[in-house]
Amino acid sequence: MEKDYYGYIKNINELVDEKNIRQAVDSLKTLGKFQLYGNKSWKPYEYSGYTLITPTFYDDIENMDSYRTIINAKKILRCISNPLKIIEAPDSALHMTAARLVSGDYFKENIQDKKENEFLDAVRQFFLKQPALKKLKFEIKGITVFSTGVIAAMISPSCEKDYGYLQDFRDSVYNEKSLKNYGVERKREFQGHVTMFYIERELSAGEKKELGDAVASVNKKIFANPPAFYIKRTEVRRFDNFLGFYRRDNWPLFEFI
């Protein structure tokens, strides 16, 4: 299901290519995860669960400068975005997902308020069995627009070895029987990214062109020399919607030494 190293690199390069970006913008669909109240402000629909992510921006000392680059790009795109159509992900929610765990209806019906402590302990015990891994070096290749209604910074490995280590770690997550018992399963292949915006209303032809122009320009000016993105730590975090990811100090985490 997962791409090999060369297939992954090819995919990321295609996603940040200007031609692909303009094609995706032209075929944009709205995401459908937010509701507009009084034609003034967006509220996210409830969607709960646990995920395994790199620390969010304010907690990720290792990648502070790289996140500032993403935030600078957000500021540029914010200036051309219609806030009644495009929702910005708050800086406090910026992260890269290392492995999806459990969420949605299954989480709500089988784990939420019932087996959450058991689930967290299963993840903790799983981490204790994992071999030590060195810090992984990736890089931010640029921004893309997904036709599904998401604008994101794309993250790519700096070498084949580090990509392999991350995939081995993901494989161990999804092959772990104790986690499968709680509904953890691989539903999609890895595509490292940091979500920046969500598109919730159809854009006009003019707005689409402006968005495509802006993303292409940002990639040329800001990401011509891709900033490093280190995977030093992955944390179990809880979420109730797409705009916030939180954790308690005693929740499990895995350190890359």
Q: Taking 90 as the threshold, does the pLDDT of residue 119 lie above it?
A: yes
**b or e along 120-150 (b: 16 or more beta carbons within 10 Å of the residue's beta carbon)?**
bebbeebbeeeeebeebebbbbbbbbbeebb
Which pLDDT score is estimated for 124? 98
Which pLDDT score is estimated for 85? 96
| Per-residue model confidence as pLDDT tens digits over 80-92 | 999 999 999 999 9
- In the chain, the domains with their CATH numbers are 5-255 (3.90.1140.10)
> Which residue is associated with the tokens 């891994």?
133
Question: Once rounded to an integer, what is the mean pLDDT over residues 243-252?
Answer: 97
Q: How far is CA 187 from CA 20, 174, 190, in A?
A: 24, 10, 10
Q: Taking 90 as the threshold, does the pLDDT of residue 121 lie above it?
A: yes
Which stretch of DSSP H or E encloses residue 105?
Answer: helix 104-110
pTM comes to 0.97
Which pLDDT score is estimated for 204? 96
Confidence class for position 39, pLDDT limits 50, 70, 90: confident
Q: How far is CA 196 from CA 56, 84, 193, 222, in A?
A: 13, 16, 9, 15
Question: Once rounded to an integer, what is the mean pLDDT over residues 62-73?
Answer: 98
Mean pLDDT of the chain: 97
pLDDT > 90 fraction of the chain, expressed in percent and rounded: 97
**Sign (positive or negative) of CA dihedral 241, 193, 68, 165:** positive
Confidence class for position 46, pLDDT limits 50, 70, 90: very high
Which pLDDT score is estimated for 257? 86
Confidence class for position 13, pLDDT limits 50, 70, 90: very high
pLDDT > 70 fraction of the chain, expressed in percent and rounded: 100
**Is 49:132 a contact under the CB 8 Å cutoff?**
no
Question: Once rounded to an integer, what is the mean pLDDT over residues 118-138?
Answer: 97
Confidence class for position 105, pLDDT limits 50, 70, 90: very high
Question: Once rounded to an integer, what is the mean pLDDT over residues 224-238?
Answer: 98
Q: Taking 80 as the threshold, does the pLDDT of residue 216 lie above it?
A: yes
Question: Once rounded to an integer, what is the mean pLDDT over residues 145-149?
Answer: 97
Which pLDDT score is estimated for 155? 98
Q: Taking 90 as the threshold, does the pLDDT of residue 40 lie above it?
A: no
